[in-house]
Amino acid sequence: MAVLIAKWVIFVITSLLAIVSSLLMITRRNTIHSALFMILAFVASAILYLLLGCQFMAMIQIIVYAGAVMMLILFVIMMIDLSKEEKLKMKVTRTKIAGVIVSVLFMLALILVMGLNSVKGKLGALSSIGDAKTIGTLLFTKYLLPFEVASILLLAAMVGAVMLSKKKAFGGEDQ
Amino acid sequence: MLKAYLPVLILVLVAAGFAAFAVVASYLLGQHKPTRVKMAPYECGIASPGYGRTRIPLRYYTVAMLFLLFDLEVVFLYPWAVTFKKLGLFGLVEMMVFIGILLVGYIYVWKKGALEWD
Amino acid sequence: MALLIESVVKVIVVFGIFMGCVAYMTLLERKVLGRVQVRFGPNRVGPFGLWQPIADGIKAFFKEDLIPANADKPIFILAPMITVASALCLIAVIPFGDKITLFGHTIYLRITDLDVGILYLFAFASIGEYGVVLGGWASGNKYGVIGAMRAAAQMISYELALSLSVIGVIMISGSLSLSVIVEKQAHMWNVVYQPFAFIFYMVCALAEINRTPFDMPEAEAELACGYNIEYSSMKFALFFMGEYAHLVVVCAVATTLFLGGWQGPFLPGVLWFLIKTFVLVFFCIWERGTFPRLRYDQIMHFGWKILLPLTLANVVVTAIVMAL
């Protein structure tokens, strides 16, 4: 019983942390601050993975998203000078209000269509593929093709990254 | 399984608590006599010219991008390494194909000069 | 409830000892470096300068706490806290001894045993990198920014080779749990099967914690100190402690992964663990006194063009040998 309550309390705290930091991330004018809140949101979602029993996913979430992806975003922020944009005031326009209403409606529609119960059933299955061994066995037998395709995707991304940075980095003197 | 993470939670709280305590205590105990010169960016006594936050060169971005891609490759290696004994020769061939494709990317990146730093 | 009490006691004891080790690391380093450079090192405070770390700690609390005018104040304060807290959290998964029986309880000498222990280490280490980057950036100082960027690029580059170098050990042990890895080394240390991986690991680890010959981010001769240039008082001390804590952990992890952890004949396990870790720590200090600093482009070339292919080749060769 105590364990269940503790789990529930941690779940509520982490979910609130994830939601609040996501909201703060969107609303901060200072880009570095919003990047920090994004890291926090990623870490919170990693803890949510952990509560579901997916240890491996939780750690990968931190290593890849909170570590590598956010480091890339930080580099980009530091590379481009955003001091002018940061001084812009946020204006509440009709389009923005309409956007908020539409997205809330869309979320409600999704919940109605899919139903909360369908989510519950899926969560039970998740915890059984939590550890690295099960993931490895599944990945290298049942999901072999997606795994090999992923390598081609990574290769394409590599080529893309080099091309993008080449053009901008060395401008005229591109060899 | 979550029981194993209870000590981690406690340790994170203790470590964060220690860090917060150290910062707050030094703020309370230390003296505060700020002057304009003291608050200026330190540049060995010379007045600092220009804007403090210099924009960084683009090649750092290239490095971060490549790091992200290779990091994803390593992430695939963990579950493979754990199950390697069970997979045997089959696992070896699978991973050789995966690494082989990425090796092509690595050679391409090298040849295009994205790893050069001068 | 018993679990909670056991965990709290364990965490507090280990945390206390670990902090003590970190504090005395500073003295050890200054002493050894002093000897390397034919001088005495600190010897005024107490016998052999033994009270020096405590004096330094007290001093750090009472120093003026400066925050530069154009610093990003919240991040400036947060950055050293991130560095030190994440480095201290790394100790959680390292097994430092066999199980002992106390008042009828079997107690394992480790804070916890996670199935994904190695990934836990990488996860917290990658969070710790933000401390350095944000600290340099938030200072609003050119040297700080340059140091921070160099540190970040160097750490992520060597993190790749670091994670590739431990793959071989994972393959041999078939587990990501550090306790299992230690148990699997009961007969033979992993360093025998993975000698190159051990060397790669130590090299990458030195770069990961920004130590000589990879201490480019804080090259005092050209960057005036790098990312922590604007830091003073306890905040500077926190960066310093984070660095030393990380150094101790890196050596402890090397012991666990490659040198058989706490396993060894005659002496109790904890002692073996401490001896092996101390030898590696001593090596890290010794090489600091010996090697000159590399140029930055050399560091990046070495990481991407030499270490990355070599560690990958190590994984491939290990796989081929194990499969055949």
Q: What pLDDT is attached to residue C50? A: 87
Nearest CA in chain C to A70: C130
> In total, how many domains does chain C have?
1
Q: Which residues contact A50 (CB under 8 A, 6 or more apart)?
A: A58, B2, B5
Does A13 contact chain B (CB < 8 Å)?
no
pLDDT in tens, C90-135: 999 999 888 777 777 778 888 888 888 899 999 999 999 898 888 8
Chain A contact partners (≥3 CB pairs within 8 A): B, C
Position A174 pLDDT exceeds 50: no
Only one residue has tokens 């996670």, namely C114
- A-C CB pairs within 8 A amount to 66
Query: Inter-chain contact B79–A140, Cβ cutoff 8 Å?
Result: yes
Domain that holds residue C152: 68-323
Quote the tokens at residue A105.
Answer: 């409606």
Non-local CB neighbours of C148 within 8 Å, separated by 6+ positions: C132, C133, C134, C135, C136, C137, C217, C226, C227
Tokens of A4: 């269940």
> Does A173 have pLDDT greater than 50?
no
Q: Do C122 and A131 touch (CB under 8 A)?
A: no
Q: What is the 3-state secondary structure (H, E, C) of chain B?
A: CHHHHHHHHHHHHHHHHHHHHHHHHHHHHCCCCCCHHHHCCCCCCCCCCCCCCCCCCCHHHHHHHHHHHHHHHHHHHHHHHHHHHHHHHHHHHHHHHHHHHHHHHHHHHHHCCCCCCC
Q: Answer yes or no: are the C-beta atoms of B66 and A91 closer than 8 Å.
A: no
Distance from CA of C87 to the nearest CA of A (A): 15
Return the residue of B nearest to A49 by Cα: B2
Per-residue pLDDT at A6 exceeds 50: yes
Pick the CATH number of B2-111 from 3.40.50.920, 1.20.58.1610, 3.20.20.10, 1.10.167.10: 1.20.58.1610
- Cα(C46)–Cα(C48) distance, integer angstroms: 6
pLDDT in tens, C15-70: 999 999 999 998 999 899 888 888 888 888 888 888 888 888 888 888 888 888 78
Give the 3-state secondary structure of A43-95: HHHHHHHHHCCCHHHHHHHHHHHHHHHHHHHHHHHHHCCCHHHHHCCCCCCHH
Q: What is the pLDDT of residue C40?
A: 86
d(Cα C272, Cα C291) in Å, to the nearest integer? Answer: 29
Asked if C81 has any chain B CB less than 8 Å from its own CB, the reply is yes
Cβ-nearest to B117 among C70, C159, C297: C297
Q: What is the pLDDT of residues A83-112, one digit of tens each?
A: 666 667 767 788 888 998 999 999 888 888
**Looking at CA atoms only, how far is residue C28 from chain B in angstroms?**
23
Structure tokens at C150: 């160099």
Q: Beta-carbon neighbour count of residue C192 at 10 Å?
A: 11
Res. B50: pLDDT tops 80 = no
Judge whether B69 is closer than 8 Å to chain C, CB to CB: no
pLDDT, residue C111, reads: 85
From B11, B66, B103, residue closest to C111, measured CB to CB? B11
CA distance C294 to chain A (A): 24
Of C181 and A169, the structure prediction assigns the larger pLDDT to: C181
Partner-chain contact C92 B11, CB within 8 Å = yes
Tokens of residue A21, six digits? 């930091």
Contact of B64 with chain A, judged by CB distance below 8 Å, is answered with yes
> What is the Cα–Cα distance from A169 to B60, expressed in whole angstroms?
10
Mutate to test the interface with B, among C56, C155, C169, C233 (most CBs of B within 10 A): C233
CA distance A119 to chain C (A): 27
* CATH node for A1-82: 1.20.120.1200
Asked whether the beta carbons of residue C139 and residue B41 sit closer than 8 angstroms, the reply is yes
Average pLDDT over residues B91-115: 86
Instruction: Tell if the CB–CB gap between C312 and B99 is shorter than 8 Å.
Output: yes
CB contact under 8 A, C75 and A59: no
Beta strands C105-107; C100-102: pairing state: antiparallel
Contacts 24+ apart (CB under 8 A), A137-143: A137/B83, A137/B86, A139/B76, A139/B79, A139/B80, A140/B79, A140/B80, A140/B83, A140/B87, A140/B90, A140/B91, A140/B94
Of B79, B117, C129, B64, which is closest to residue A157 (Cα–Cα)? B64
Distance CA C40, CA C31 (A): 7
**pLDDT higher than 60, residue A124:** no
Contacts of residue C132, Cβ cutoff 8 Å, sequence gap at least 6:
C79, C83, C148, C151, C152, C155, C210, C217, C227
The nearest alpha carbon in chain B to A140 belongs to B91
Per-residue confidence (pLDDT) for residue B14, from 0 to 100: 93
Annotate chain C with three-state secondary structure.
CHHHHHHHHHHHHHHHHHHHHHHHHHHHHHHHHHHHCCCCCCCCCCHHHCCHHHHHHHHHHHCCCCCCCCCCHHHHHHHHHHHHHHHHHHHHHCCCCCCEEECCEEECCCCCCCCCHHHHHHHHHHHHHHHHHHHHHHCCCHHHHHHHHHHHHHHHHHHHHHHHHCHHHHHHHCCCCHHHHHHCCCCCCHHHHCHHHHHHHHHHHHHHCCCCCCCHHHCHHHHCCHHHCCCCHHHHHHHHHHHHHHHHHHHHHHHHHHCCCCCCCCCCHHHHHHHHHHHHHHHHHHHHHHCCCCCHHHHHHHHHHHHHHHHHHHHHHHHHHHHC
In a domain, C119, yes or no: yes
Task: Quote the radius of gyration of chain A (alpha carbons, Å).
Answer: 21
Residue B19: per-residue pLDDT? 92
Mean pLDDT of all residues belonging to chain B = 83
Domain boundaries, chain A: 1-82
Band of residue A30 on the pLDDT scale cut at 50, 70, 90: confident
Contact C157 B63 (CB under 8 A): yes
Q: What is d(CA C164, CA C314) in angstroms, rounded to the nearest whole number?
A: 9
Q: What angle do CA C112, C116, C120 make, to 5 degrees?
A: 75
| pTM (two decimals) | 0.89
pLDDT of residue B90: 84
